[in-house]
Chains A and B, each alone.
Chain A
Amino acid sequence: MTRFLDRSLILHLAVIAALFAAQYLLPSYHHTNIARIMVLAVFAMGYNIAFGYTGLLSLGHALFFAAGLYATGLGVEQWGLPTGIALIGGLAAGGAVAVATGLLALRTGGVSFMIVTLMFAQAGYLTILYFGAVTRGDEGFVISTAARSLGGLVLSDSTTRYFMALALFAVAMLAKLALVRSPTGRVLVALRENEERSRMLGFDPFRYKLLALGISGLYAGAAGAAYAVLFGYVGATFASIQYSILPLLYVLLGGAGTVLGPFLGALVMFYLIDISSGYTTAHLAVVGLALLILVLFAPKGILGALRERGLKWLP
């Protein structure tokens, strides 16, 4: 059994190594894209912990992403916090908002949980618009280059940005791999598979779901915080429903309940939009078609389908 576990660890380390090498090989346009995809993949990995592993279908993750984005963005831009502190604040804000949401939303389940999380996120979005004097509403605000530095590193520089995104991505992915292989990860999957059985084995469903949602929120908050300082823009669009749906699509496309699925999904989706919009203005129709094909032929996503067809060891 150990051999199998090692094989998956090697695969994940290889992905990180490939992304490291890609920095030197890719032209600058793709280079920025990949940095963005890695940050969005962290968001989607967090979403996957709640949805893919624990079975919590949230439609409100934009709220947690925005919590991290605004905590860090406002922190450096308006409250004059050091960038490092603001980043930690963004991470914490994502986790705290997720736990607070979970304390109420987890009293429900299934469809009600989707609706309640959606409502929380909408309330968050409207709150950002309401306090437009501070948040600059829809228009958003740009983070000054001066604020985008961390211990001498200039985060607006594209190479530094790439490596910071990669560092966050690598830590997030390895932490997730450790989580899903741990006894706690086994309980999360057990809740997804059969909640009543898990309760009768002595696991408190509420406590474990809250934990999953909290960790998921930390990921979303970290991604939001990183997004603010790496790409230098904070705006209300990131709190809109679109950013709750995106991680869901990434996860479904890449494979729910797989460690690498969210990254793969974000990568494919990003380039699907990027390439198709070069040919047609109806690029969302292309995305829709791709999703239809996915649902019809690989309902468990790309990696989910591979796992069913022989790669059973894929975590």
Chain B
Amino acid sequence: MAAVTLLSARGLTRHFGGLRAVDGVDFDLESGRIHALIGPNGAGKTTFVSLLCGRIPVQSGSITFAGQDITRLPAHERVARGIAYTFQITSIYANLSVFDNVALPVQRRGSRTLAADTMAALDRVGLAGLAGQTAGTLAYGHQRLLEIAMGLALSPRLLILDEPTQGLALSEIDGFKALVRSVIPETTVLLIEHNMDVVMDLAETITVLNFGQTLASGSPAAIRANPAVQAAYLGGGHA
């Protein structure tokens, strides 16, 4: 299958004062794949995807999505074009029902049968039985699932998952992996993840960020064998 580039970034930069959170990153995302973004804490991963989805404005550089320049588009218009972001820190509507949480993205996508489509979206992550419950009272793992369900309910072309397995039990992680695989190839997945088992198992391509710059990019095997990556993860400079 010929690779089609869904998103590409060139020279993407964002500094916070003297901190070079993202510093001239070039990045290409192929359509219909699972691409993982890894790196030590503070490497700029969340800032980088925030630039892609528009939560944080770009300082310099450009972003192209599906052939169009989206560098200056506000976040909500990027969502309309098919970029969905799920938050690292669970950001659901705690006081609203589980149903309402997912009905919002379903109605944003446009639906004539809101109730049925919402229940279908909940069913996909196994939360249909909890539709009437207040979202804030769900167990943590279920809140994480709800967060992902909200992203998926937008039927995005690109789903950005920011540390989705953080705090999940081992048994829940298997379910999560199956869920992510099930959205391919209609949805391309960009995954920030610290759990290396999940990364190695799911990702077809891995990009490593360090100090706001791309350290390496390639297949899981190539990344695992890369000495610079090993150095960064083992405490850089001394190796």
Contacts and interface: CB of A to CB of B under 8 A. Distances in A.
Contacts of B177: none
B93 interface: yes
A186 B76 contact: no
Interface of B is mostly: helix
Contact-residue size bin, chain B (C-beta under 8 Å from the other chain): 20 to 34
B92 interface: yes
Interface residues of A, number: 18
A190 B93 contact: yes
Dominant secondary structure at the A interface: helix
Contacts of B114: 183
B95 interface: yes
Contacts, number: 62
A152 interface: no
A194 interface: yes
B105 interface: yes
Interface in B148-183: 150, 154
Interface string A161-190: 000000000000000000000010011011
Interface stretch (B9-17, B79-87, B196-204, B228-236): B79-87
A278 interface: no
B79 A202 contact: yes
Interface stretch (B18-26, B59-67, B96-104, B211-219): B96-104
The CB with the most chain B CB atoms within 10 A, among A183, A196, A200, A205, is that of A200
Interface string A184-211: 0011011001101111111111000000
6 contacts: A183-B103, A187-B104, A194-B93, A196-B55, A201-B79, A201-B105
Interface of A: 1, 183, 186-187, 189-190, 193-194, 196-205
Interface of B: 53, 55, 74-77, 79-80, 84-85, 87, 91-96, 100, 103-105, 107-108, 114-115, 150, 154
